[in-house]
Amino acid sequence: MKIVLQRVSSASVTIEDKVVADIQKGLLILVGIEDTDGQEDIDWLVGKITKIRVFDDENHVMNLSVQDIDGDIIVVSQFTLHANTKKGNRPSYIKAAKPDVSIPLYENFVKKLDIELGKKIQTGVFGADMKVSLLNDGPVTIIIDSKNRE
């Protein structure tokens, strides 16, 4: 699994002119799932996301986690994170998992975040044409790949 984690002052997801997710201070997480991903990838990423210190403490040092600040999270599925751009000008998405694999993993990922944070995680709609708005705070944007955890 590959994620793009962004520290935001606010973020929202709109589908067909209807806001389906809306947060203030917290994290916007774009998640891409590939065929080889499983529960171990979910467990590792959720542990990393809930503890990563990307929010400022009283000394303006990134020393606090989303849990520490009681921040919110929006998770948006994004298969394009697995784009292969080595050949030609049209990206290949061959590594991205098909919906029969990716939907259950995506749902388990969101559920595990819900449980770990003890609050409802907001989401986009899997496979929908979404408009994602955010006010990136910092900016702080971090790419994390569960296959590069060693």
For residue range 50-105, list pLDDT tens digits in order: 999 999 999 999 999 999 999 999 999 999 998 889 999 999 998 899 999 999 99
pLDDT at 136: 97
Instruction: Kindly report the average pLDDT of the chain as a whole number.
Output: 95
| Catalytic residue (one of 55, 79, 109, 122) | 79
Cα end-to-end span (Å), the chain: 14
| Catalytic residue (one of 6, 78, 122, 123) | 78
Q: Can you tell me the distance from the alpha carbon of 60 to that of 41, in angstroms, rounded to the nearest whole number?
A: 32
Active-site residue flag, 141: no
pLDDT at 120 over 80: yes
- Sign of the C-alpha dihedral computed for residues 33, 68, 11 and 52 taken in this order: negative
Active-site residue flag, 78: yes
Length of the chain: 150
At residue 17 the predicted structure's pLDDT band, cuts being 50, 70 and 90, is: very high
Contacts of range 126-130, beta carbons closer than 8 Å, 24 or more positions apart: 126/77, 126/99, 126/102, 127/77, 127/99, 128/15, 129/15, 130/13, 130/14, 130/15, 130/20, 130/76
**Across 36-55, average pLDDT:** 97
Active-site residue flag, 80: yes
Q: Identify the CATH homologous superfamily for domain 2-148.
A: D-tyrosyl-tRNA(Tyr) deacylase (3.50.80.10)
